[in-house]
Structure 1
Amino acid sequence: MMVVRPVRDTDREALHSLAAKTGPGFTSLQDDESLISAKLEAAARAFQPHDKQEASYLFVMEDTETQKVIGICGIEAAVGLHDPWYTYHVGVQVHASRELNVYTRHETLTLNNNHTGHSELCTLFLDPDYRKDKNGHLLSKSRFLFMAEHPTRFYHSVIAEMRGFSENGVSPFWEGLGRNFFTMDFAQADRLSSKDKGFIAELMPKHTIYVHLLPEEAQKVIGQTHEQTTPARRLLESEGFRYNNYVDIFDAGPTLESRVQDIRAVRESRYVKIQVGNTSGRGELSLLSTLSLTDFRCCMTQADVLGHGIMQIDASTAEALQVKTGDTLRTAALFGRPVL
Structure 2
Amino acid sequence: MASALPSFLLRQAGLQDHRQILRLARELDSTNLPTDSAELAEVLERSTKSFTGEIAKREHSIYVFCAEEIGRRRIVAASMIIGKHGTPSSPHYYFEMDADERYSHTLRRKFRHPYLRLRYSMDGPSELGGLIVSAAMRGHPERIGKQISWVRFLYIARHRRRFQRQLIAEMLASGEPGHGNRFWDHYGRLVTGLSYREADRMSTRDKEFIRTLFPDAPLYTFMLPEQVRSSLGVVGENARGAVKILEQAGMRFLKQMDPFDGGPYYGAEIENLAPVKSFAWYRATKVESAEKEGIRYLISREDARGFRAVAATAAVDTRRMIIPRAILDILSTKYGDRIDAAPLP
The alpha-carbon deviation at position 59 of structure 1 amounts to 1.5
Query: What is residue 318 of structure 1 aligned with on the other side?
Result: 328
Tell me the alpha carbon deviations over residues 139-189 of structure 1, each in whole angstroms, 9 at most, x when there is no partner: 011111111111111111111110111243432222222222234443343
Query: What is residue 129 of structure 2 aligned with on the other side?
Result: 122
Say whether residues 1:70 and 2:76 are aligned partners: yes
Counterparts of 1:18-29 in structure 2, within 5 Å, are 18-23=24-29, 26-29=30-33
Query: What is residue 160 of structure 1 aligned with on the other side?
Result: 169
The alpha-carbon deviation at position 93 of structure 1 amounts to 1.7
SS at match of 1:181: helix
The alpha-carbon deviation at position 308 of structure 1 amounts to 4.0
CA distance in 2 between counterparts of 1:182 and 1:282 reads 60
Q: Which amino acid aligns with 2:49?
A: R
Q: 1:135 to 1:327 in 2, by over 3 A?
A: same
The answer to whether the 8 Å contact 1:49/1:293 transfers is: no
Say whether residues 1:209 and 2:219 are aligned partners: yes
| RMSD between superposed Cα atoms in Å | 2.3
Say whether residues 1:174 and 2:184 are aligned partners: yes
Say whether residues 1:286 and 2:297 are aligned partners: yes
The alpha-carbon deviation at position 282 of structure 1 amounts to 6.6
The alpha-carbon deviation at position 108 of structure 1 amounts to 0.6
Q: Which amino acid aligns with 2:146?
A: H
The answer to whether the 8 Å contact 2:58/2:84 transfers is: yes
**TM-score, normalised via structure 1 length:** 0.90
Which residues of structure 1 form unaligned runs of 5+?
Answer: 336-340
Counterparts of 1:317-336 in structure 2, within 5 Å, are 317-335=327-345
Say whether residues 1:141 and 2:147 are aligned partners: no
Percent identity, please.
27
Which residues of structure 2 form unaligned runs of 5+?
Answer: 1-6
SS at match of 1:297: strand
Tell me the alpha carbon deviations over residues 110-134 of structure 1, each in whole angstroms, 9 at most, x when there is no partner: 1111484211111111112112221
SS at match of 1:258: strand
CA distance in 1 between counterparts of 2:304 and 2:223 reads 50
Of 2, 13, 17 in structure 1, the residue corresponding to residue 19 of structure 2 is 13
Query: What is residue 338 of structure 1 aligned with on the other side?
Result: none
Query: What is residue 302 of structure 1 aligned with on the other side?
Result: 313
Q: Which amino acid aligns with 1:43?
A: S
CA distance in 1 between counterparts of 2:115 and 2:158 reads 40
Q: Which amino acid aligns with 2:168?
A: I
The alpha-carbon deviation at position 64 of structure 1 amounts to 2.4
Q: 1:213 to 1:321 in 2, by over 3 A?
A: same
SS at match of 2:183: helix
The answer to whether the 8 Å contact 2:14/2:45 transfers is: no
